[in-house]
Structure 1
Amino acid sequence: MKNTIKVMFFAVTLMFSAFTMAQSTVTGTVMDGEFNSSLPSASIVEQGTSNGTITDFDGTFTFETQASSGVLIISYVGYGKKTISFSDSINLGNIFLTPDNSLDEVVVVGKGVIDLAGGRETPVAVSTIKAAEIQQKAGNWDLPEVLKSTPSVQNLKSGGFGDGQMFIRGFDQTNTAFLLNGQPINGMEDGRMYWSNWSGVMDVADAIQVQRGLGASKLAISSVGGTVNIVTKTIDRKEGGFVQQMVANDSYTKTTAYFSTGVNEKGWSFSGLLGHWQGDGYVDNTDGQGQTYFFSVGYQPNENHTLNFLLTGAPQSHAVAGSGSIGEFLEEGRRYNSWNYDNVNSSNTLSSGAYPGGRNIYHKPVANISWDWTIDEDSELSTVVYGSMGRGSFAQAITSGDDVTYARGSNNNHDWFGLVTNYNNQLTENLNLNFGADVRLYNGFHFRDVREFISVDAVTANSGYSGGLDYELTEAGGINPWEVFFNQNNDHSQRFGYDYEEQINYAGVFGQLEYSKDNFSTFFQGAVSNQSHVRTEFLNVEEAGVSEESDKVNNLGYNVKLGGAYVLSDAHKVFVNAGYYSRQPFHDNLYQNNREGNTLLSPEAENEEITGLEAGYQFNGGSAISANLNVYHTTWDNVTKYNSNGEIGDAFLSYQTLGVKQVHYGVELEVMTRPLDNLKLNGFVALGEWQFKDNATLRTFDNDGNKVGDDEDIVIDGFNVGGAAQVTAGINGSYEFLPRFSIDAGWNWYNDVFSTGSLGVAPLSMPSYDTVDTGLSYKLLFGETGKTSLQFRLNVNNVFDEVYLESVNGTTAASAIESENYKGINRSNTGRFGYGRTWNTSVRFNF
């Protein structure tokens, strides 16, 4: 019946056209402006009509217009639309479309709570990476590696799988807000991100947007350095999928399969992904393995409502790399791992035959339900309800003499549920109102237990805790992430060392008012939140078996942002933004980490104060050239840090540092060019100056939580902030030398790098370094539409096998004896060298 209706429709259209006096025949070829290849199934529509067609396999089209002159709209998924005027019958020749840096073609569910920069007229410093580039360049890396060609972003790979770190404008991951489809995913207790817990996120990402600095987020979140929005697959418009096989250096292999039904006639859509990976790791004895799963169900009952259920997870385990001095790495090689044991008979033994000193095991499934409701033409409501259950452990080998006796598990589990909702109303033609709420309920479980018995059958816990009684540990929790998830140790009598829970509840409201008229736009934004904390102790208690609960702590926080932009002309735009955050301290900075673990630190940690200023200029010269220039100044003040050094002799000392202040400022320039139709060349430079300002105060506590000695002044004023390069630059480009056969390469340079270490000691200036990466891509099309294809990809990272110090955690000055130094750094400092040359290659069948 539907086919009959279509035939009748086209027949009527043709008859109408035949009797129309004024009409034209328009022909042309739609091309990929990036790779100079044809675009089959591109859409061509005559503006103001339903008259249109699609391109054939070669990207060409011919059709009769309804008027002798007018405008054609040419579009293709993943590319910016193009409008072309026509007059009389004409051959338009090659029409080049360029990849769209916005997210218009991505089906975003829960779009009101996913704070994308494109949703506001006033811009921010932003970079967007789309699915095609993620697919090409991600390979077997984590997300930070894909972002390293973004201004002021640096990735440190560290040791084992998923152990990398990312910095934005000199701030680490605890001060960068990470959002997954609008859901905050930084740790509620300490703000940290562990990429091993998210090893499958690259497989399901539709786009990743990096907002540097203040960003467009409306939540009161940890966006001191910036905000990273990860937008995953949800609803695909069309049916399709892929199967991909990847292999890489050090016996790495990964298999992934994905399929989506598209949206059917009743509005339903289903999609799913499964993957498995394993490998030996670049660093010796750091093998790992894991799985990825993703399942999505969408329902669109009508054009006003879109609902989606999503479930994704990435269970994994990997052996970790032990630290070592620079001298040890120079003697043993940069793959050196100081932390493993021989002659251990265990199921946890590595493929090399060694037993890992430590293994990370984790499984964190995340589920959410999203609802987008278009209330009317001026208002809409978006709501996301989410939950996650993290279960995992750090299994560390415990030795007695030369024997490994058992693997001790340091478990970090949690249940996390939340809701984010957002209402948007276009009050007038020029005024837009946006407000919503953010609620998070978090329960963390932390304890030590036995993961595996090796040369013993039981362990005696005789720490003196739990009423001073000794007791036997006879159960082992296992080292498999699926086992850890479904069989967590709920028996407090089988825990030792520490055993406590944390209840952290967060509730906030936010709002934004934006005015836009002609060439001017401005916005004002604010958020207020309350975060409560309760700590329950099970082990370090006066009476065995009787838990003790702390008093509840409530901390109020808020933020305000405002900004404006002015369009000077079609090619030139300027903007300025400012913001202030009063951010609650992390839970881990509130309580003493000792026998009196339920006792609040005194004085209590106060709210941190963040002030941000930024301005920018955007130039749009069309497909040939565009550029962004940003300047920023960020002050992070009134910071409290708390850490424990464990037992020192007969004492257990912990430290509270008050009044830490950092000032980060700099300038960023990125330029995007297309010198030739088949050549893209981009570059960036970021110049930063990141320093501590004023001095801080150090307080020391003993095992009973009592303050020891007098407060100490810590001299940090003028010291450089370490960890990431303050000056970076890069050039990357791609060239298509045959249809759908291209080569790309990127060069990144890092300068003004400083070590990390103890506060109060000046950091070391590390040697600068640069790396070169390259890749090859080929896409073979099948069928008349080109929808079915075979893609081949090869990535080679650090092509020239550059040897460089990636990080140094130490402050020992250079020795007067030159042989005791390495490029001006004392070899006794703890450090880690970056990876040498690595590669991965994949074949992907799209259908």
Structure 2
Amino acid sequence: MKKLTNWLLSGVLFLIVSTVFGQGKITGTITDNELKTGIPGVNVAIKGTSIGTVTDIDGKFSLDATTATGQVVLSYVGFETKTLNFTVANGQTIDLGSIVLVADADQLDEVIVVGKGIIDLAKERKTPIAVSTIKSAEIREKIGTSDITHMMVNTPSVYVSGQAGGFGDSRISVRGFQQDNTAFLLNGQPINGMEDGKMYWSNWSGMADIANAIQIQRGLGSSKLAISSVGGTVNFVTKATDMKEGGFVSTALANDNYFKSTVGYNTGMSEKGWGASFMLTHWQGDGYNDGTYGEGQNYFFSVGYKASDKHSFNFLLTGAPQQHDQNFTKKISDYLGFGRRYNNNYGYLNGQYVSERVNFYHKPVANLNWDFKISDKTELATVLYASWGRGGGTGNYGGSANKKYVMQTNPYTGDSERTYIDYDQIYANNQALPNGEGAFSNGYLIRSSVNNHAWYGVVSNLKQELSKNLVLNLGLDLRTYYGTHFRQVENLMGLNSFNDTRNLRGANHQTDPANPASTLVTQSVAVNPWKSLFKTTDENQRLDYDNSERISYGGIFGQLEYSNDNFSAFFQGSLSNQSHQRFDRYDYLPQYEDSEKVNNTGYNVKAGGSYKFNENNSFYVNAGYYNRQPYHDNIYLNFTNEVNPLTSNEKILGLEAGYSFKSEFFSANVNVYRTTWEDRVVSSSRTISNATGETIGTTPVAFGDLIYISDLGVKQIHSGIELDAVAKPFPKLDVRGFLSIGNWKYDGNAIKRTMDENQRLLLEETKDVHGGRVGDAAQTTWGLGLRYEILKGLSVDTDWRTYNDLYSNVGAVKENLMLPNYDLVDAGVSYKFNIGKAQTNSIVLRVNVNNVFDEVYLSELTSTIKTTDNIPAVGTAPSIGTYQANGRVYKGIADGNQGYFGLGRTWNFSLRYNF
């Protein structure tokens, strides 16, 4: 017994000695590879033990080690997990120094604590894809006064245009495909227009404030939805209910009297699992171009509830009511004569500024996310969503002869030209009419073209782990959409009433002179994005058109993926049906108001695989085929109830492959792709800029009229190569670069249809477009970005981009016009410092300068006039010859071409206080 007791005492003494003298201490500081600042809250643990800690506000940590050797595991949401070996002697303290964690796009979805929904991010498919991710810190730094599209300009094969049109009027192309052929998702909710697939960024002016991240998946993407992400898929991941209590206030100033203020607050998650977040923003500014004033608000509200480990819910409501005056394309000669900021869409009435073209909209969006963890191997994610769009755009209504202009001499051409709108003369003419009653033949008013909708949908995805290596996803995508379109009077301009007449259509969809109708309009509704939610004119007070459509959509989708440590393969498929019906209350006899109902079925399949050679090198291939239904606006001919016989399902075949290299100090991706598209519709627009107007077909069109061009039955072939790379040659220097070379062409013949703004068909013709270059996006781009940390909290960054092989946006043509190449340089300075006794609050200062060297460039053209073409005659005067012979050429381009100059040098300053 005594011997046993001695053995026990010896053992206890040995354990005590081992514990006391075998302990060491490990310290270090963990920083963000992008922001170069300490990361608070990082989990630090010794592998295989229960010993762990988290970093403090500066990213520092200290923990005890009970073993002489081992591994420290560092993990944090949104960053790659890092494992470090250590060796520590008894009583020794070792400092691991500064440890850099690398941002990980694959963990992007985990920034959403509650309500992940069905957000389709690259992480959900292990097979690599061509993807770029932009996180909230970079968005806050660089967005300035720009649309959210500006955040994607440093991405391969992405081109942003239309900024000169006004706040929210930009457009984005991916791999040469316009935004109606790129899928945009908000927390898993499809947001492309149901009627035409387009995106109107003015409706999403608050996206920069609420976005947690943007992920651009070029090409086939990883989306499991029953959508055709031909150009790519852009996922906007918004903020959700935050676990941490705190908030911020910020303010921003910029060129042209821009001002913005924002406040936000998070309650944090309570012990019972509840939490809420909200944010409010107001902005206003004069706009870069003349006559492009804008103002708006943004609201965001989110409530989260974590009912249990199995159930999480998040409700989100956001909206961005706004209004902004617009600029349309002009002749280059107009800009050269009146300045690059020239805009003639406005005038003065009794000395007060009046814009003829105002876009106004309010689109509240609500969604409810439910995440259900059924078991360790089964998860169900569902989002219910709704949006209610209200608003439209203003313009003139009445005969073109009734619109009066102030005449000025163009200093560049010497010609007398119509410039600003003479509202004083228009007002006087209207008041001189008998009883103040105007008509199309003798009156002028400002109308609002209203586009309202109600959209409801549900997307649900079931994820089942069939085995360790095999995962199955099955899902459902249901939507219903009801849109209403009509015109109402915004400003009678001195009239008491307006008599609008038309001939109603019959069974054959043709106007019937035997059935005339007229509406005496006396109501007017002023532009107001808030009031537009509830206030519109009565149906008997609408003019020009009044119609609606119902679009119903049902789709199922699935994905099966196999993966092990080095190899992965997947197969995706979807099947969908769309139904369309149009209702015309204005142009048809009552018994013919309802159109024929049209149903179309479509599908897509995708497959691919990847192989990981080692930790640094991997390779992938993807292929997909889409059979996509035409958009609603292409189904009904010339905006009537007549079904267009030329529309059919579009056929798309996509092939892509890529190689990735990844190391601690350098990573790069190379992607090659080829996409063929048949039976598609290409649309463009332009403004009549000749003082004498034009004749299209047999119909005269007037100065200032908008003309819409659609090409049907088009085949396109897009191929190219993309490269993006990130390097860290020095601890405080980051270098990023990208290169994209595209070859985007039309093939075969197309049917060209030209319409005016009143939706009348002016001309239809067949044309050869074989070999024509696709316009509206630069086919060759490259760029380089640098970020350098001067000292703690203070950094500078710059981005340089060059654009080549940019062609006019004129739809499908055989001979397109190439614009001059141009380069842009943006730069910024950031300074962040902590304040308060506990140093837990911070202030962030940021200055951006875009187009630092004030590059003068053409960002887009909407015509193809050659230098050898004759200058149009003015009035009865004879032609003076060609543009070339008269020296009317700008950088190799005939100055009669219409388009936009890009923005010159702009700046913005922001101040943010985090608490």
Query: TM-score, normalization: structure 2?
Result: 0.86
SS of 1:223 mapped into structure 2: coil
**How far does residue 18 in structure 1 lie from its aligned partner after superposition?**
9.2
Does residue 675 in structure 1 map to residue 729 in structure 2?
yes
Give the aligned partner of residue 409 of structure 2.
none
SS of 1:429 mapped into structure 2: coil
For 1:410-559, what aligned pairs fall within 5 Å after superposition? 410-465=449-504, 467-489=515-537, 491-543=538-590, 548-559=593-604
Q: Partner amino acid for 1:713?
A: T
Q: Deviations over 1:368-412 (max 9, x none)?
A: 111000110001000000000000021114455531553201111
Does residue 129 in structure 1 map to residue 134 in structure 2?
yes
Does residue 789 in structure 1 map to residue 842 in structure 2?
yes
Q: Deviations over 1:627-667 (max 9, x none)?
A: 00000001111114589999976699998744211111000
What is the alpha-carbon distance in structure 2 between the residues aligned to residue 659 and residue 702 of structure 1? 21
What is the alpha-carbon distance in structure 1 between the residues aligned to residue 760 and residue 141 of structure 2? 55
What is the alpha-carbon distance in structure 2 between the residues aligned to residue 620 and residue 779 of structure 1? 30
Q: In the alignment, which of 784, 791, 810 is matched to residue 738 of structure 1?
A: 791
For 1:68-467, what aligned pairs fall within 5 Å after superposition? 68-76=68-76, 78-88=78-88, 89=92, 90-102=94-106, 103=108, 105-107=110-112, 109-111=114-116, 113-156=118-161, 157-343=163-349, 353-398=352-397, 400-401=403-404, 402-403=425-426, 405-465=444-504, 467=515
Does residue 600 in structure 1 map to residue 658 in structure 2?
no
2:228·2:626 contact (CA, 8 Å) conserved in 1? no
What is the alpha-carbon distance in structure 2 between the residues aligned to residue 677 and residue 641 of structure 1? 48
What is the alpha-carbon distance in structure 2 between the residues aligned to residue 440 and residue 177 of structure 1? 15
Q: In the alignment, which of 721, 742, 749 is matched to residue 695 of structure 1?
A: 749
What is the alpha-carbon distance in structure 2 between the residues aligned to residue 706 and residue 328 of structure 1? 28
**How far does residue 323 in structure 1 lie from its aligned partner after superposition?**
2.4
Distance 1:101 1:170, change over 3 A: same
Q: Partner amino acid for 1:506?
A: Y
SS of 2:643 mapped into structure 1: coil
SS of 1:92 mapped into structure 2: strand
Distance 1:492 1:98, change over 3 A: same
Q: Deviations over 1:470-505 (max 9, x none)?
A: 22111112201011112123x210111111100000
Q: Deviations over 1:260-298 (max 9, x none)?
A: 112110001100000000000000011010000000000
Distance 1:573 1:409, change over 3 A: same
Give the aligned partner of residue 877 of structure 2.
none
Give the aligned partner of residue 412 of structure 2.
none
Give the aligned partner of residue 865 of structure 2.
812
Identity %: 48
Q: Partner amino acid for 2:909?
A: T
SS of 2:111 mapped into structure 1: coil
The 10-residue stretch of structure 1 (281-290 or 450-459) with the greater mean CA deviation from structure 2: 450-459
The 10-residue stretch of structure 1 (741-750 or 106-115) with the greater mean CA deviation from structure 2: 106-115
What is the alpha-carbon distance in structure 2 between the residues aligned to residue 801 and residue 656 of structure 1? 35
Runs of at least 5 residues in structure 1 that lack an aligned partner in the other structure: 1-14, 346-352
What is the alpha-carbon distance in structure 1 between the residues aligned to residue 33 and residue 247 of structure 2? 25
Q: Deviations over 1:608-641 (max 9, x none)?
A: 011100000000012x100000000011111145
What is the alpha-carbon distance in structure 2 between the residues aligned to residue 644 and residue 809 of structure 1? 7
Give the aligned partner of residue 906 of structure 2.
838
1:593·1:644 contact (CA, 8 Å) conserved in 2? no
What is the alpha-carbon distance in structure 1 between the residues aligned to residue 197 and residue 544 of structure 2? 24
Q: Partner amino acid for 2:676?
A: T
**How far does residue 358 in structure 1 lie from its aligned partner after superposition?**
0.5
Give the aligned partner of residue 407 of structure 2.
none
What is the alpha-carbon distance in structure 2 between the residues aligned to residue 328 and residue 280 of structure 1? 21
Does residue 585 in structure 1 map to residue 634 in structure 2?
no
Distance 1:130 1:17, change over 3 A: farther
Q: Partner amino acid for 2:290?
A: D
Q: In the alignment, which of 750, 767, 771 is matched to residue 803 of structure 2?
A: 750
What is the alpha-carbon distance in structure 1 between the residues aligned to residue 129 and residue 153 of structure 2? 19
The 10-residue stretch of structure 1 (776-785 or 133-142) with the greater mean CA deviation from structure 2: 776-785
SS of 2:165 mapped into structure 1: coil
1:112·1:424 contact (CA, 8 Å) conserved in 2? no
Q: Deviations over 1:22-67 (max 9, x none)?
A: 4322122333444544444443222233322233455433321233
**How far does residue 688 in structure 1 lie from its aligned partner after superposition?**
0.6
1:33·1:97 contact (CA, 8 Å) conserved in 2? yes
What is the alpha-carbon distance in structure 1 between the residues aligned to residue 848 and residue 281 of structure 2? 20
2:741·2:780 contact (CA, 8 Å) conserved in 1? yes
What is the alpha-carbon distance in structure 1 between the residues aligned to residue 559 and residue 529 of structure 2? 42
Distance 1:784 1:679, change over 3 A: farther
What is the alpha-carbon distance in structure 2 between the residues aligned to residue 518 and residue 77 of structure 1? 22
For 1:42-81, what aligned pairs fall within 5 Å after superposition? 42-76=42-76, 78-81=78-81
Distance 1:104 1:659, change over 3 A: closer
Query: TM-score, normalization: structure 1?
Result: 0.92
**How far does residue 114 in structure 1 lie from its aligned partner after superposition?**
1.0
Runs of at least 5 residues in structure 2 that lack an aligned partner in the other structure: 1-14, 405-424, 428-443, 506-514, 687-694, 702-706, 868-882
Q: In the alignment, which of 611, 615, 628 is matched to residue 566 of structure 1?
A: 611
Distance 1:445 1:56, change over 3 A: closer
What is the alpha-carbon distance in structure 2 between the residues aligned to residue 44 and residue 783 of structure 1? 26
Q: Partner amino acid for 1:694?
A: G
Q: Deviations over 1:112-171 (max 9, x none)?
A: 521101111101100001111111111221111011001111111232100001111111
Distance 1:654 1:240, change over 3 A: closer
Distance 1:18 1:461, change over 3 A: farther
The 10-residue stretch of structure 1 (389-398 or 48-57) with the greater mean CA deviation from structure 2: 48-57
Q: In the alignment, which of 667, 675, 699 is matched to residue 626 of structure 1?
A: 667
Distance 1:801 1:705, change over 3 A: closer
Compare CA radii of gyration and give the structure with the larger one: 2
1:17·1:66 contact (CA, 8 Å) conserved in 2? no
Q: Partner amino acid for 1:117?
A: A
Distance 1:38 1:513, change over 3 A: closer
1:821·1:827 contact (CA, 8 Å) conserved in 2? yes
SS of 2:723 mapped into structure 1: strand
What is the alpha-carbon distance in structure 2 between the residues aligned to residue 822 and residue 245 of structure 1? 40
**How far does residue 784 in structure 1 lie from its aligned partner after superposition?**
6.6
**How far does residue 16 in structure 1 lie from its aligned partner after superposition?**
9.8
